[in-house]
Structures are given as structure tokens and as C-alpha cells.
Structure 1
Amino acid sequence: MNTYKKRVQQFFLDSQIALTKDELANIDYADFGLNNIEIEALNLIVYINNNRYCAKEMVLLPGQTCPEHHHPDRNGQPGKQETFRCRKGKVYLYVEGPEKEVGISSKIPAGKEAFYTAKHEIILHPGAQYTIDPNIKHWFQAGEEGAIISEFSSPSDDASDIFTDPNIIRS
């Protein structure tokens, strides 16, 4: 795991995004309880998350996938709305909607096809962004060089996210 953490930290450092030592020391290496961190995971720094808004920086290593999920309504309030902005690399983002006739560009993790149902593809290059509305199933995967994504959203409550894969644990 130490080699993995060093790779993620170096990816953040190579981005030339100004980060503090505390931020780098507190990266959340989310493996979703799958013990498959090289394939399905998300590495993130949370700048702020309060009752009004949230801002994060996320790293996906080459080909790494954040599993399909959605942000449900909570306590009578709409679920999380989030805008992803690609900072580095290429991001294949999938949301509910029509699939291209030629299929998707990403590779769904082996044996997990049933857990990746959103197939409307949006490709984000550096500087491009996309807003995901509440309750929309989505997942995303880095291209062959990896990716850095900034997230700006309404408050985040990871424990309330609903994943398509029932084996996922996120607290």
C-alpha cells in the first residue's frame, strides 16, 4: 500500500496544484471495501465540506475507476449536485442516458458488468467540466495517463451514496 500511496501523492505533486503538507498527508484512499484499489478506487483531498458546499481534488491513476453510484435525497433535501472539472489527463464520465452506437470507450472492470449500467459517455479533457444532477447514476474512469478532477458540489455525505455494487462499503 505504501507504493500505491506514493504514486498517488506524486501524481498530486506533479499536477502543480498548490497543496499543503497536511492535505497531502490526509489523502483519502477510498477502495470502497473491494480490496481492488488499483482498479476500483478514488483518491481525494477534501478542501472543504460544510452544510452549504463542498470542494475536492480527486486523482485516478491510469485506467482506475470510481464505481457507479448516485447521491440520493436526504432528510427532505435534494441529493448532492456536483460539477467535475478535468484538470489533467482524460476522464471518461458515464451518466444515465443513451449509449453511443459504437459502445463506450472505457473498460468496465472484469466481472463487474452488471454494476456499471450508466452508459451515456462524456469525455472530459483538461479545462472541460460537466455537472451531474442529484439522483443520477454515474461512474468515471481515467484515461491511460491518469486524471485529476476538481469537484465542486453541494454538501457531500459519502455514507449516504448508493452504489450499484452491493459489495461496496463507503463510510
Structure 2
Amino acid sequence: MAAREQIDKANAKARELLKAAGIVITEEEAKRIEYCDYHLGEFDTIGTEILTYVNTDRVCAKEMMLTPYQICPEHLHPQLGDYQGKEETFRCRWGEVYLYVPGEPTEQPRGRVPEHRKEHFTVWHEIYLRPGEQYTLKEQTRHWFQAGPEGAVISEFSTPSFDEADIFIDPEIKRESNY
């Protein structure tokens, strides 16, 4: 678990990114921003700040904030009983997003991953998102994404989210949140 000071610093940066994107949140929402370090201890490289607005049995809406070149690691949202897995749309609000999905690998991808974790990034078909652009992932699709040089704010609109059930390619990752 990260130290409180590190979490507070990351959350302050997330609020700065939201402000840069012109997204206004309440104080109560600011307190709910999740610090996700995936238990790797490499938050500045592999980590995500997430604000969930709503997550019901029908829909989910979130903001995800990433600092420059920060990565949300490769994962998929599995089928859970009758639930087919999460279908999600990512909309870039600010910055640049390099989203990677199955398909023909991009010849010169913009994304870069730490050498010691490279084996845990298996999909390299790049979807390049700029502000106002979006992409929809079907359920059970492997994906990962990275912010560009200024960082990024991404809105996610999806079917229900069960983050604790996400399947990460890197076996060292644990999906738990800190506030």
C-alpha cells in the first residue's frame, strides 16, 4: 500500500488534470478519486487515478487521469455468470491516449513500456485518441493504454464495472484501490 503522502500527491495531480480538461467535480467526488498502483510499487509508470461517478447494475461512468506516459496495464473484463463482460467506450477529454487492442501490431507504436514488464504487454494494435475522439471495446477484449507527453483525462462509459474481477496479464498485479 502506498504512503498517504504519495496518495494525496497523486490525487492532487489528478484534480489538476481534471481542471485542465475543464471537468468540474465536487469536493465529495475529489475524496473518492481512487489511487490504483496495482501493487507494483511503480505508480509513476504503471498506475491510474479513477473517479467513478456511477456504477449500477446497468451502467458505469468514470474519469481516468494519467500523468505523462503513465500506463493502465493490459487486462480484460471477463464474463461473470450471465454477465458477458464489460463493454466500454473511452473518450479522450484532454491530452493524448495510446490505446492498444488485438489486431495487426502498429509498426511504430507511440506507447512505451518498462523493459522489465514488456512480456506482460501482448496487444500492440494502436488506437490514437486526441480530445473529442473515442473508441468502443467489446466485452472480453484485451487492452491497455498510456497517456501521451502531457498526461491524459479519459471518460469511460460502460456496462457495469467489476474492477476486482479484472484479469491482468501481469500475474504480480492486484486490483485494489486506495483513496
**TM-score normalized with structure 1 length:** 0.96
Confirm or deny that 1:137 pairs with 2:170.
no
Which of the numbers 66, 83, 88 marks the counterpart of 2:89? 83
Equivalent position of 2:165 in the other structure = 160
Q: Is the 8 A contact 2:20 2:94 kept in 1?
A: no
Unpaired runs of 5+ in structure 2?
Answer: 1-5
What amino acid is aligned across from residue 71 of structure 1 in structure 2?
H
Deviation at 1:7, TM superposition (A): 1.7
Cα distance in structure 2, aligned partners of 1:106 and 1:12:
22
Deviation at 1:103, TM superposition (A): 3.0
Equivalent position of 2:133 in the other structure = 128
Cα distance in structure 1, aligned partners of 2:63 and 2:54:
10
- Pairing of 1:102-117 with structure 2 (within 5 A): 102-117=107-122
What amino acid is aligned across from residue 57 of structure 1 in structure 2?
E
Identity of aligned residues (%): 44
Unpaired runs of 5+ in structure 1?
Answer: none
Equivalent position of 1:44 in the other structure = 50
Cα distance in structure 2, aligned partners of 1:76 and 1:4:
37
Confirm or deny that 1:7 pairs with 2:13.
yes
Q: Return 48-57 or 18-27, whichever deviates more.
A: 18-27
Cα distance in structure 2, aligned partners of 1:167 and 1:34:
7
Post-superposition CA distance 1:82-118 (Å, at most 9, x none)? 0000000000000011112x23111112311110001
Cα distance in structure 2, aligned partners of 1:12 and 1:76:
35
Which of the numbers 53, 62, 78 marks the counterpart of 1:56? 62
Cα distance in structure 1, aligned partners of 2:30 and 2:11:
10
Cα distance in structure 2, aligned partners of 1:61 and 1:75:
35
C-alpha root-mean-square deviation of aligned residues, in Å? 1.0
Partner of 2:22, secondary structure, is: coil
Equivalent position of 2:3 in the other structure = none
What amino acid is aligned across from residue 16 of structure 1 in structure 2?
G
Confirm or deny that 1:33 pairs with 2:39.
yes
Equivalent position of 2:175 in the other structure = 170
Cα distance in structure 2, aligned partners of 1:73 and 1:137:
13
Deviation at 1:133, TM superposition (A): 0.7
Cα distance in structure 1, aligned partners of 2:11 and 2:52:
16
How many residues were matched structurally?
A: 170
Which of the numbers 148, 159, 169 marks the counterpart of 2:153? 148
Cα distance in structure 2, aligned partners of 1:35 and 1:132:
28
Equivalent position of 1:18 in the other structure = 24
Cα distance in structure 2, aligned partners of 1:10 and 1:48:
22
**TM-score normalized with structure 2 length:** 0.92
